[in-house]
Amino acid sequence: MERKDFVYRTELVKKLREEGVEPYPHSAKITHEIGDIVDRSEEFMGKKVAVAGRIYGLRFHGKLAFATLRSNGRDIQGFFRYDVLGEKKYKFLKKYVQRGDFIWLHGEVIRTKRGELSVLADDVRLISKSLYDLPHEWFGIGDVETRYRQRYLDLLLNREPFELFWKRAKIVEEMRRFLWSRGFLEMETPVLQPVYGGANAKPFKTHVNALDRDYYLRISDELYLKRLIVGGYTKVFEISKDFRNEDIDTTHNPEFTMIEAYWAYADYNDMMDLTEEMIKSIAKALGIEKVNFRGKEIDFTKPFRREKMLDLLAKRGITKETDDEEIKTMLEEYNIKLPRYERGLALGKLFERVCEADLHEPVFVIDHPKETTPLCKLHRNDPDLVERFELYVGGMELANGYTELNDPMLQEKFFKDETERRTLGDEEAHQYDADFVEALRWGMPPTGGVGIGVDRLTMLLTGQESIKEVILFPMLAPKEE
């Protein structure tokens, strides 16, 4: 059974065509965007304009009618008078034009008796017929599933997400502007990779018919951007969609956006400075100082603290003196399973479990045990650690950076260690990337790198606690009919 509104409106389209009116014309030339007129209304007063937009409200009042027109999130009122518009067009409006339709109208910018900025129409055209009744904005769309599956309805009827995704676009724009201003070049590296790397994660597998080879969707673009540093660039970045074949929850989506930046001759301290300055400049550009997140305030104007991971663990009673047996007991208590006991890995896992959730105000956690990643340079003062940082905000990991490992022989060894972990059953261990080792053998300068989760940054800057709220089309199970 077809929807009643669809049947009725489809019939109207048919009638329009019978009368020689095309309900979906090719263009509708406007003189101004609605927002421009609203922003500079006094300048436009008394002038003739042509505007277009979707009808959110249509109020017939005998021989008068008022329409709320919206375009790009901005509203202006269309004012139709029988005597100004003429009988034919007025009747057309009444018979064929409904809420949800797009119209074009021409007329003088005025204010009505109630002071509402309006265009007093002397001409009106239907420029796109909607075949469904637009739900009322007053009630909005509340059903979360509808909001995600039909995001356009969410954007059309709920103000908050419309503005939120505008902000997300601004965040990405500011990110680019910031890095461009620092001399970084925006690069594009492969999404389809024969060997995946740069993170601990399960990949999506695909097949390249032309080569008859299995490929992977990237889990990170790290190893390719570093090849570009080998290639001679000193500052590169990429905003990349990465793919990780893992669970979907409030902070994870299988497809997500990451920005990675690599900077030759710099180290992890420089990258922390860069990260902090970038986030603060984005927040400033958006006029954001403090955000309420998970019930607590985050102040983006204060300096980001830097804490050593081992110091944070020590505050929880896990120190150098804690012996391996005690740590193994703790792993069991927290139900953490490692393919094989390695102290450094265990400490990294315990940190996530014990400390992570409490890191609310921005803090760089630095100097991780060396077993936590194979891509990072050993610490200049302690061979058991690496020069790594993770930025935690709101209890989430927001960024991850290193003084990049550029010693090809050590890189080879670390990849071998990962291969061993893989054979022991660690599905997320890194793959051995011989081509990347080859690149390092040609020489990569000392380099600092960082990756920042764009979705999570958007969550933090907008106070949204679910990643689905900041991804336009979050992954959902396909609906079968």
Partner RNA sequence: GGGCCUGUAGCUCAGCUGGAAGAGCACCUGGCUUUUAACCAGGUGGUCCGGGGUUCGAAUCCCCGCAGGCCCGCCA
Q: Which residues bind RNA (CB under 7 A)?
A: 1, 3-5, 8, 57-64, 66, 68, 77, 79, 81-83, 98-99, 112-116, 118, 132-136, 138-146, 148, 199-201, 244, 246-247, 249-250, 252, 334-337, 352, 390, 397, 400, 428, 465-466, 468, 474, 476-477, 479-480
CA distance 135 to 99: 9
* Smallest separation, CB 358 to RNA (Å): 13
Which DSSP helix (H) or strand (E) runs through 236?
A: strand 235-243
Contacts of 59 (CB under 8 A, 6+ apart): 65, 66, 67
Start-to-end Cα distance in the chain? 14
Q: Which is nearer to RNA, 8 or 180 (CB)?
A: 8
* Smallest separation, CB 273 to RNA (Å): 20
CA distance 127 to 22: 8
Residues 74, 34 contacting (CB under 8 angstroms): yes
For residue 39, how many other CB atoms are within 10 A of its CB? 11
Q: Which is nearer to RNA, 301 or 423 (CB)?
A: 423
* Smallest separation, CB 393 to RNA (Å): 12
Q: Which is nearer to RNA, 99 or 177 (CB)?
A: 99
Residues 338, 331 contacting (CB under 8 angstroms): yes
91 backbone φψ class: left, alpha, beta (φ>0; ψ -120 to 50): alpha
3-state class (DSSP) for residue 106? strand
Q: Which is nearer to RNA, 94 or 380 (CB)?
A: 94
Q: Which is nearer to RNA, 105 or 199 (CB)?
A: 199
* Smallest separation, CB 123 to RNA (Å): 18
Q: Which is nearer to RNA, 69 or 274 (CB)?
A: 69
Residues 327, 348 contacting (CB under 8 angstroms): no
Q: Which is nearer to RNA, 194 or 339 (CB)?
A: 339
CA distance 289 to 24: 46
* Smallest separation, CB 210 to RNA (Å): 30
Start-end of H helices in 250-360: 268-285, 309-315, 324-333, 343-354
* Smallest separation, CB 26 to RNA (Å): 26
* Smallest separation, CB 435 to RNA (Å): 22
* Smallest separation, CB 195 to RNA (Å): 17
Q: Which is nearer to RNA, 274 or 471 (CB)?
A: 471
* Smallest separation, CB 137 to RNA (Å): 7
Contacts of 436 (CB under 8 A, 6+ apart): 195, 197, 223, 226, 227, 411
CA distance 59 to 16: 22
Nearest to 184 by CA among 259, 257, 240, 263: 263
Nearest to 9 by CA among 130, 156, 153, 95: 130
**Looking at residue 372, what DSSP letter applies?**
G
* Smallest separation, CB 196 to RNA (Å): 12
CA distance 60 to 82: 11
For residue 67, how many other CB atoms are within 10 A of its CB? 28
Nearest to 309 by CA among 361, 346, 336, 274: 346
* Smallest separation, CB 227 to RNA (Å): 21
Q: Which is nearer to RNA, 93 or 283 (CB)?
A: 93
Nearest to 468 by CA among 456, 452, 479: 456
Q: Which is nearer to RNA, 230 or 451 (CB)?
A: 451
Report phi then psi at 432, rounded to 5: -75, 115
* Smallest separation, CB 15 to RNA (Å): 11
Q: Which is nearer to RNA, 79 or 263 (CB)?
A: 79
Contacts of 443 (CB under 8 A, 6+ apart): 230, 406
Q: Which is nearer to RNA, 159 or 441 (CB)?
A: 159
Q: Which is nearer to RNA, 157 or 439 (CB)?
A: 157
* Smallest separation, CB 287 to RNA (Å): 27
CA distance 50 to 124: 9
